[in-house]
Amino acid sequence: MNPKKTELLHQQYLKGLSRERKIVRLYQLLIFIAFFASWETSSQQKWIDPLLFSSPSKIWNLLIEKTMDGSLAVHIGVTLAETVLGFILGTLVGTVLAALLWWSPMLSKILDPYLVVLNSMPKVALGPILIVALGTNLSSIVAMGAIISVIITTIVVYTAFKEVDPNYLKVLQTFGATRTQSFREAILPASFPTIISTLKVNVGLSWVGVIVGEFLVSARGLGYMIIYGFQVFNFTLVFLSLFVIAVFATVMYQLVELLEKKLIKNNQ
Amino acid sequence: MDFLTLRGIHHTYFTKTSAVTALNDISLDVQEGEFVSFLGPSGCGKTTLLSIIAGLLDPTYGQVKLEGKSVKEAADKTGYMLQQDYLFPWKTIEENILLGLKVSKTLDDTKKKEVLSLLRQMGLENVESLYPKQLSGGMRQRVALVRTLATEPKLLMLDEPFSALDYQTKLKLEDLVSNTFKTFGKTAILVTHDIGEAIAMSDRIFLFSPSPGRLHKTFTIPEELRNLTPFNARNHSLYNELFKKIWKELESIEPEEN
Ligand SMILES: Nc1ncnc2c1ncn2[C@@H]1O[C@H](COP(=O)(O)OP(=O)(O)OP(=O)(O)O)[C@@H](O)[C@H]1O
Ligand SMILES: [Mg+2]
């Protein structure tokens, strides 16, 4: 085939791609508008109970108001700090535990049944105990955010460590590598993809832990806003908190994806 | 004194359900600077024997000595290239070939320059910052060889280094490896299925028979063939003669096949 023709076909291919992208975007936008428009109208026309379901315009006005008086920023700041801390703590402790288990096969055999039990346990049920132990403050909420992800992280990452091709370790052994060196040169980098995917799961889990934690104790934060809105029957406040949570959880997820692209540079 | 001595090596693999004897009473010697091949059908314990010589595996019985020392003590003197290249996919070529020096904490600027120039001698230019998956099979095998040579081992072990390559690449690499080893005066053990490769490259061939793995026969390659490059050796009349002899011998030890 002559190069001009190939060039032309490539152009057409690229055009096709961009047309498809435009169509997808268009429909996404349409769904967005349709959803909020029908919500707004049905609330205004009282097809749904405006007290219960609020409306986009009310939520928007409340957003402006809460942003102006600065109270929203405080709530967001508190919850975000707790979530990020819980997330980092859960992932870090989980990975360190996994490393310990890898280090000592004996320890991993001994702890195996305990891990299974702890993993199947609903972690949020530990909330009251954490609060009693750590007090009604930030630390017990961070602990909730961490504890919910730590065991599953340990299990998943440890499994990844174990599944690293033993021949990579053999190569290192022929160079006289110590166990620490084997861990650093082979086990850890080979498990990066798994660690990253647990990070993605942990973002969601930490939000659950923190919001439940705030339900239980806090006097600040987005979880508190939800509970407070519920108690005073201000559902506009509840919805506002939900939207803010959705936005920030998504941003956090995107950041993890960015990290993924950076860390796994040879994987494209 | 012999460079490498194996005395009464015996190895059994134990699992929950079985005990497989992979090696039975292997004794042999290798001289310094010699190139020897382990030849034999699949499953006769060649890889097991290499792992034992490399100190990765303790034999059930028997002794391996390198220059009079146990191989565990002499680990820095042996280099072992596994059956596949096992380049680390998350490391660049440069990081891969410097791995041995990094692990043994002997990496410095002069060493680094030497290893990088060795890479160029192997015909690999401008690949330092690439990742292994960006190279062809033959290139990866050469990189793995550089990685093994980088720590300057006195004894090199190659486990079927060319078996996954196409014929042409294989012939070229045989010449390259043979040349490199001769210039550096390395002692080498090559594991192979390929009779021709064993004849073309070695000074001596150890033929193994399977179940359990035993040393069946030793062939010494005539002087005329040794002095030729592997490629030219394959065209010598003595090569064909020897090929037939070893072929017959191999037939006699695996009559159950065909
Ligand atoms: N880790 C192991 N556990 C149990 N049995 C093993 C193990 N490794 C090897 N064996 C057995 O030991 C015998 C020798 O295996 P080995 O890998 O040394 O053969 P080989 O000569 O290298 O074969 P090939 O030419 O196919 O690479 C085989 O019967 C094999 O099944
Ligand atoms: Mg083998």
What H or E segment, with its residue span, contains residue B66?
A: strand B61-66
Does B81 have pLDDT greater than 80? yes
Does A100 have pLDDT greater than 90? yes
The verdict on residue B120 lying in a domain is yes
Does B2 have pLDDT greater than 50? yes
The verdict on residue B229 lying in a domain is yes
Query: What is the mean predicted confidence (pLDDT) over B13-25?
Result: 88
The verdict on residue B119 lying in a domain is yes
The verdict on residue B258 lying in a domain is no
Query: What is the mean predicted confidence (pLDDT) over A109-114?
Result: 92
Q: How far apart are CA A267 and CA B131, in angstroms?
A: 10
The verdict on residue B196 lying in a domain is yes
Q: How far apart are CA A257 and CA A244, in angstroms?
A: 20
Structure token pair of residue A213: 């934690």
Q: How far apart are CA A113 and CA A109, in angstroms?
A: 8
The verdict on residue B60 lying in a domain is yes
B196 confidence band (pLDDT: 50, 70, 90) = confident
Query: What is the mean predicted confidence (pLDDT) over B125-150?
Result: 88
Segment A131-140, tens digit of pLDDT = 888 888 888 9
| Residues with C-beta less than 6 Å from any ligand 1 atom | B 13, 15, 20, 22, 42-48
Which of A132-136, A258-262, B95-99 is most confident?
A: B95-99
Q: How far apart are CA A20 and CA A26, in angstroms?
A: 10
Q: Which of A148-152, A210-214, A243-247, B176-180 has the lowest mean pLDDT?
A: B176-180
Please enumerate, as own/partner, the contacts of A53-56 that have beta carbons within 8 Å and a separation of 24 or more: A53/A235, A54/A235, A54/A236, A54/A238, A54/A239
> Looking at per-residue confidence, does B244 or B224 come out higher?
B244
Query: What is the mean predicted confidence (pLDDT) over A213-235?
Result: 89
Q: In this predicted structure, what is the pLDDT of residue B83?
A: 82
Q: In this predicted structure, what is the pLDDT of residue A268?
A: 40
Identify all chain B residues contacting A266, using CB atoms and an 8 Å cutoff.
Answer: 89-90, 131, 133
Q: In this predicted structure, what is the pLDDT of residue A41?
A: 93
The verdict on residue B68 lying in a domain is yes
Q: How far apart are CA B216 and CA B253, in angstroms?
A: 9
Terminal Cα distance for chain B, rounded: 44
pLDDT over 70, % of chain A: 98
Q: By residue range, what is the domain housing residue B168? A: 4-253
Identify all chain A residues contacting B82, using CB atoms and an 8 Å cutoff.
Answer: 167, 170-171
Query: What is the mean predicted confidence (pLDDT) over A69-87?
Result: 92
A63 confidence band (pLDDT: 50, 70, 90) = very high
Q: Per the structure, how many domains does chain B have?
A: 1
For residue A266, the chain B residue with the least C-alpha distance is: B90
Q: In this predicted structure, what is the pLDDT of residue A265?
A: 65
Domain containing residue B100: CATH number: 3.40.50.300
Please name the residue whose Cα sits nearest to atom 22 of ligand 1. B47
Segment A166-205, tens digit of pLDDT = 999 999 988 888 899 999 999 999 998 888 888 888 998 9
The verdict on residue B187 lying in a domain is yes
Q: Which string of DSSP letters, residue by residue, matches A240-263? A: HHHHHHHHHHHHHHHHHHHHHHHH
Query: What is the mean predicted confidence (pLDDT) over B122-134?
Result: 87
